[in-house]
Structures are given as C-alpha cells and as structure tokens.
Chain A
Amino acid sequence: MSAQPGRAAGAQLNEQPGLPPSPAIPASVTGILAVLALVGGAAFVATAYSGSPRAWQAFLVNLLFWLGIAQGGVVISSAYYLTQGRWAGTMAFRMAEAFSLFIPVGLVLFFILYFGRTAVFPWVSHPVPDKAQWLNTPFLFARDGIALLWMTALSMIFVNVSRGEKARAWTQHSSNIHMPPKAIKRLAVVLAISYAFVYSLIAFDLVMSLSPQWHSTLFGWFFFAGAFWSAVVMISLVTVLLGRRFGPQSAFSRPGLLHDLGKFTFAFSVFWVYLLFSQYIVIWYGDIPVETFFVVLRVNTWPWWPLSWLVLVLVWLLPFTVLMGVKPKKTPAILGTIAALGLAGMWLERYVLVVPSLSPRELPLGLAELLITLGFLGVFGLCSLPGIKYAIAAAASAGPKEAR
C-alpha cells in the first residue's frame, strides 16, 4: 500500500464510510490521562514527603509493572519477526509496539528510584556482608542503569526499523516465503536475548534483593515471563477497546486477530503458572528455611495469602478455564474482560512479590497506592497514545486482501 501510516489518521478514517468521525482518539482521553498523571504525581510527592515508605514501594511496584508491559510489547514484536509470524497480520506488530514510548520514560523513572533507595532496598541501611559486593548502591544503579539503557536504545531502534518501509512491506505480504529483512531479523535476535538477560537482572536486583537472604534460580525467567504475558493482555485489552470504537469491520475486530491474542493469553498464562509452580515445588520439597520464608510469608501468612491466591486466579485460573474454547477467544467482551482482570492480577503479582519483603506484617494498600498507580496509568497511557495512533492509521490503510 502506498498510503503512509504517518499521515493524520483522522483524514484517512473520514474517507471510509461507517466509521466514527475523527479524531481517532478524542482529546478527552488525552485530558483524562494527563489529569491522572498529575494527580498521581502529586499523591506520590505528598506521600514521599510525609516520610512514609509506601510512596516508594508503590513507585517500584508500578515501575516494574508498566515497564514490563512496554518492554514486553516490543519483545512480542521481535518474537513475531523471529518466528516469521506474518500470518498474524500487520496489526499484531503495530499493536505490540504501541507502548514502546514508555520504555525511555521507565529508564528515567528507574534513575529516580535512586532517591527512594533507603525506603526500597533493605541492604542500603543494613548491608548484607556476604552480598555487599553485589548489593551496593553504586554497583546496582550502574549495572541496572546500563542494562536498561541498552534495552531502551535497542527497543527504540527496533521499533523504528520495524516501522520502516522494508519491514512493513514484509509484514503486509504474507503470500511469499521471504525471510524478514536482515536489519530487523538481527535486531530481533539481539533484542530477545538481551531481554532475557536484562530482565532477569532486573528481577534479581529490584525484586529478589528486597529479601536479600532469599534466592530462586528461576526467578528471573518467572519475572520476565510475567512481564511478557502482561504485555500480551494489554495488547488484547487495547485491541478489544479499539475494536469497540471502530466497529466490527475494522482490522481490530478481525476474528483471526482476536483468536491469536486469545491463544497467546491462554498459552503464556500457563507458562507463567508453570514457572511459578516450578519454583514452588522445589522450595516446598526442600523445606529449607532460608528458601521457604519468602514463600510462606506470601502463601500461608495473613494478610498476604488472599492476595496471592487472587493473583493465581486472575493470572492463570480464569484465563485458562475461560479461554480454552475457540468462541470465547473470538468474543471481544470475554477476551477484553479476561485481559483487564489479568492486568489487575499481574499488578497484584508485582505487589505481592515486592511489598511483603518490605512490610511483612502490614498491608499498605490504600488511597496512596491507588492514586500512584493511576498516575502511572496516566503516564503510560500518554506515552502509548502515539503508538496507538500509529496502529490506528495502519489499520485504516491496511487493504482487505493483505495481512491485516
């Protein structure tokens, strides 16, 4: 197609009958997101100023959650290139990359975490002698900063190349057997492997180190598999919402696309629970106190065990049982609901991983956490709007016969 997706989405959509009027995304959405961001920021500053550690705990939980979604999305796109998944249609790539602009923001937010390090990392005020060479402030921020900087640069370049002429042309014509263009192919490989390394490192440093005595070898994979899945369900939710906005004839409502997203959601929720159980069974069987305390606190102790079981239900049980059949996957209302619940579940998962280490007996879950989370939602939404608009423009210019 010769139409450039970069042009105003509204003009193209207006030309097609039966579609809602432009702009593709109303200004009220931008306004609401901006308000949420400001309110959240104010709540964060107020809570942090009051000296409560809850501000930085909520900050860390949200940073891990939202950055995971943004980064996971780009990795999903690289997974499509690596498996030559053109059958999924151009929209699969565009939607996966829609959230990528939050990645640099996440990088900045990570460095801001430095100012809350005493509230978040117990080993700052109480260094652990055996682990002090690894768990000390300069080394941690240096290595994680460099790692996240690498991922940010890589992701931005990847999305840029993926939206370039060659890669876009490759995704749109699925009737040949060409490999993806060299540039994107190589970037996809480097991105995927880097993701595994960097996000394992992030998991170890930003989550596991909060209980410095505990370790689990599979934890890095468990963490980034959860981030990957949270990106899948975010893509599913946004696709369903855009399908509602643009009607059943749009590329967002294509049953094949929803079926693919449903399968993705189903499969990777099983992968997540598999990694969860792999860690659990080993720790359960060994029954070694230095390993079990982390799990017992979250699974057997009040006030955490209801949240942990809720996470299991929202992230695995519901998607697994509801999305097993073909029809539920293709029904936007069902897929969208499961996706929304899954996102809530993944946020809770990050919460249950991080907060019990820092506040074992109390449950810091209240207005501050809600407002800070909404603030992050606002920032994430604002960062995702350009990508979503790009996807809408791509949907409008996608021809009927080509891979949509």
Chain B
Amino acid sequence: MVDLLIMVLVFILTFVVGYALISRIPPLLHTPLMSMTNAISAVIILGGLLLFSQETTSLEKVLGFAAIAAATFNLIGGFVITDRMLKLFKKGNRLLN
C-alpha cells in the first residue's frame, strides 16, 4: 500500500514538474519534443528486462523478446531522429544577413 502511494506520488510530482517545464518549450521545437518524449515512452523496455530476471516459460520468452525489440526500436529510433532534427535548427546562415 505504501509502495503504491509512493508510485502515485512519483507520477503526480513528475507530471507536474514536467508540465511546468514542457509548457515553456516554444512551438518551434514541438516536433522534436514529441519525437523525444516518444523515445522516452520506450522506457517500458525496463519491464521487458525485468521479465528476464526470473525463470520464464518459452511463450514468455517469445513475447518478452518481442516487447524488448519493439521498445528498442522506439527508443533508438526516437532519440536518433530527434538528434537529426535538432541538428537542422541552425542560426546564422545566409538568411540572417
């Protein structure tokens, strides 16, 4: 019960702090922002890892494999593409004069 309370507290606190910080991010960066948070939601990979910390049946192995692969796709793809996008945001090229 205490654990659950801590979890709910963690959720509320990070949600509120995250909300305050993220609402200050300018629309200019909203696409990279979504792409980055998309990568963060792949944190679910931790669940897949924990699964393999205990004995697993063969079905669990297959499904766990799929979970980790899908989450890693999301994780790596998300961060790499965000970086690619952010590299495009440059200052001081010809248009600046």
A binds B: no
A residues engaging B (CB < 8 A)?
none
